[in-house]
Amino acid sequence: MSEVQFYTDEHVSKAVVRGLRQRGVNVLSVVEAKTQGASDEEHVEFAISEGRVIFTQDDDFLRIAASGKSHHGIVYAPQRTPIGRIVQGLMLIFQVLEAEEMVNRIEFL
């Protein structure tokens, strides 16, 4: 079993990335991955290739998952969700689930 590692899309605040890193979580942003401007489908493919769970505030990813496309996990929080609540929710996922348990799973914060 392996730890959940996150990949954040373009809609996610840098503060979320910092908050997770301060707590020892492996997280990669689109800026660091140099995947800015990629389509949502390309983000899903990149996350699969890296074995990462996508954290997003873009509900288009929910439609991709609903279409039956395989993914390594998607965590969604609506826009305007407080950063503290997002970090807390992602930490709970990190602490209680393994990466393998997140495959094709969607979690809502």
Strand partners, 8: 29, 55
Sign for the pseudo-dihedral over CA of 60, 62, 65, 68: negative
**CA pair distance 25, 81, nearest whole angstrom:** 20
Total-model pTM: 0.95
53-56 vs 6-8, strand pairing mode: parallel
pLDDT at 65: 92
Name 102's Cβ contacts closer than 8 Å, sequence gap at least 6: 4, 53, 72, 73, 93
The ranges assigned to domains in the chain are 6-108
pLDDT at 93: 98
- Per-position pLDDT tens, the chain of length 109: 799 999 999 989 999 999 999 999 999 999 999 999 999 999 999 999 999 999 999 999 999 999 999 999 999 999 999 999 999 999 999 999 999 999 999 999 9
